[in-house]
Amino acid sequence: MASHLFPPLNALRRRERLIAGAWAAARWVAIVLAGLAVACTVDWWIDLRRDTPYPLRIGMLASQVVLAAAAGAVLLLPVVRRRSHEQLALFVEEKLPALGHRLISAVQFHHGGPKVAGMSSALIAETTREASRAVSELNFAKLADHRRLQSACWLALAIVAVVAIAGALWPRTLPALVARQLLADCPIPRQNQITNQTALVQPANEPVELRFRIDGPAPSSGELRIAPAGGSAERFTSEVTLDDGVWKLAHAAPTGDFDLEAWIGDARLREPGRVRLVPRPAVSDLSAVLMLPAWVGVRPDGSRYELPQARGEVAGIGGCAVRVTVKTQKPVVKASLDLLGLSEGGKAPAVKRTLAPVEGAGQSFVFQFDLREDEAAYCVRVVDEYGFENVDPPRREVRLVPEEPPTVALLIESFRPDGASGTAEDFEAEGVPVPLGGAVRIGYVCQHPYGLGRATLVYRVNEGDWRRFSLTETTPTEATGPLDLKRGCFQKSKPADQVQFSAVPSPDAARLPGRLEGGGRFDFQTRGLPGLKIGDTIEYFIEVSTRHPETPLAGRSETRAKKVVTVTELVEWIDATLRQEDRIRRLADRQRGVFEDKPAPKP
């Protein structure tokens, strides 16, 4: 009969274990998910401002493992513990007081109960039969506390609902947060996305431009943090104005390289930006030389002569070229020279030509160009490896000037009688007449910055037609000595030597062109002039041309006039002139003596 008692109790045990297990599992899942939610919230909150430290993530994962293990031990251990038949019988009698302890007594009589020795077997059998009859129609499994199963179901539904709602609200964020709890290296999706588009290299000592690409709803303001190397970090808030989805703002020139962080909405830069400041390229030295036309002459090596131009400002005649040498304070990858036109109406001059360097690289470049009428200035632009161009490129004037004719001057006339002593100035005499059939001594000097060509004597008689006489050029030799520009002849020339025209050679053919100065001294013979008579007037001047092969310019001296006289009239003129000059000198000596002998006034 006792065998009828244990199957119902076993069914009750299984039911109780099932209900307790469901309730424990629901609570265990709730505790684990709560711990996961707390860890995800902490990770999400910290990640708003900076990367969650990896040790903290490991710590949170370990804490969740410990929490899950502890909760499992506390909640599931009672479930796996087996309840005895006596405990189940007592549980049933608590639910059915009408059994009156018959069930527990019968279980104890047949399942290791109290000692039955000395007890009546009939009593034991009767108690067992009564207990069997009482439970034969009962379902012990229904006596289990099903409220815990209901609570487990409600808790499970709540968990499912919370997870479903969170998944619906944050379909990308929730999986990423869970994956990060498993130490996956993935970013947390945000409503806003910010991408750094700030140039990594920017010019030093200038305001920097910060650029960020913003995806998602545009917030009204953003926060920035700029940390210069070796300086204190600066954090500030700025209004956000998007230009085609890009947030642009300028910041005052930092003192040096800096790190950049930005926060906007719920987004931040995943990695701090690093901005390096480099100086813009600049022209540290600029020089220009004027390359003279080939017709001026060439150096022994065949190259053209050059004239340095002060401060790089250039002025030259047609046919000249310019060579500009530029040096920069740092290596550059590109250099160019702009030739600018004339400024009209206050407008900026237009660029007429842009030239590349003819040679050079790194920090030194050479440009070359010819002079043109419509160009008034040039400027040099350089660009470094980062694409930075020099600010306020140096600008210099360039002018095409007309070529001037040579300067020609007649030397002062002099007349020294034979045996007379004194300086040359003592015998200067302007307007010496010429005796019929005599000669006119003509001395002159000339000069031109680009070289002298040919010399010509131009004369006429009594306002007649001008006649031209080409002067023969004489080259100085060691025997003659160099040309004396004060006398118009060579240093070793004798009074009767004739030097119609001579040009001074270059003192240094490798640096300077020759023929820049010249002159002559010769006697113009009048006896060959047809029809010349006493009283006639001879006018003359010296004309010297430039070396230009196509359009030479001619410069001329002043015109002098000579009256044709007899020998007697010449002697009288000389005598009167010398006496007058002597009186003038004596008067000057007396005046000089008066001033020298006069005592100085007392103060």
Considering only CA atoms, which of 241, 296, 235, 242 is closest in space to residue 261?
Answer: 235
Q: What is the DSSP string of 284-300?
A: EEEEEEEE--GGG-B-T
CA distance 603 to 598: 15
Identify the CATH homologous superfamily for domain 193-278. Immunoglobulins (2.60.40.10)
217 — pLDDT class (breaks 50, 70, 90) = confident
Report long-range pairs for 354-363 (Cβ below 8 Å, ≥24 apart). 357/326, 360/326, 360/335, 362/331, 362/332, 363/327, 363/328, 363/329, 363/330, 363/331, 363/332
CA distance 569 to 96: 180
Considering only CA atoms, which of 313, 314, 315, 318 is closest in space to residue 295?
Answer: 318
pLDDT > 90 fraction of the chain, expressed in percent and rounded: 45
CA distance 533 to 158: 145
CA distance 150 to 476: 133
CB count in 10 Å sphere of residue 28: 17
CATH number given to 407-567: 2.60.40.10
Task: With a cut of 50, say whether residue 121 has pLDDT above it.
Answer: yes
462: left (phi over 0), alpha (psi -120 to 50) or beta: left
Q: Which two tokens stand for residue 572?
A: 């009288």
pLDDT > 70 fraction of the chain, expressed in percent and rounded: 78
Please tell me the predicted confidence (pLDDT) of residue 587: 58
Q: Can you tell me the mean pLDDT for 177-203?
A: 89
Please tell me the predicted confidence (pLDDT) of residue 28: 87
CA distance 144 to 303: 119
Please tell me the predicted confidence (pLDDT) of residue 80: 57
Look up residue 514 and give its amino acid. G
Please tell me the predicted confidence (pLDDT) of residue 600: 45
**DSSP-derived 3-state class of residue 258:** strand
- Tens digits of per-residue pLDDT, 48-60? 888 889 899 999 9
- Tens digits of per-residue pLDDT, 502-533? 999 999 999 899 999 999 999 999 988 888 99
Burial category of 284 from C-beta neighbours within 10 Å (exposed 0-12, middle 13-18, buried 19 and up): exposed
- Tens digits of per-residue pLDDT, 530-543? 889 999 999 999 99
439-447 and 554-556 beta bridge pairing = unpaired
**DSSP-derived 3-state class of residue 191:** coil
pTM over cut 0.85: no
Please tell me the predicted confidence (pLDDT) of residue 579: 67
Q: What are phi and psi of 255, to 5 degrees?
A: -80, -15
190 — pLDDT class (breaks 50, 70, 90) = confident
| 29-38, 137-146, 413-422, range with the lowest pLDDT | 137-146
Considering only CA atoms, which of 333, 323, 324 is closest in space to residue 362?
Answer: 333
Burial category of 140 from C-beta neighbours within 10 Å (exposed 0-12, middle 13-18, buried 19 and up): buried
Considering only CA atoms, which of 378, 387, 377, 341 is closest in space to residue 357?
Answer: 378
Q: Which residue has the tokens 């007392």?
A: 602
Vertex 249 angle, CA 247 and 251, to 5°: 150
The percent helix, strand, coil of the chain (3-state, each to 5) is 30, 30, 40
Please compute Rg for the chain using Cα positions: 60
Burial category of 562 from C-beta neighbours within 10 Å (exposed 0-12, middle 13-18, buried 19 and up): buried
* Mean pLDDT for the chain overall: 83
| CATH 2.60.40.10 residue ranges for the chain | 193-278, 407-567
On the CB side of 449, CA atoms within 13 Å amount to: 12
CA distance 38 to 64: 10
603 — pLDDT class (breaks 50, 70, 90) = very low
CA distance 209 to 57: 36
Kind plus residue range of the DSSP H or E element containing 14: helix 6-47
* Helix-then-strand count for the chain, H and E: 8, 31
For residues 593 and 28, the model is more confident at 28
Task: With a cut of 60, say whether residue 86 has pLDDT above it.
Answer: no
Please tell me the predicted confidence (pLDDT) of residue 87: 56
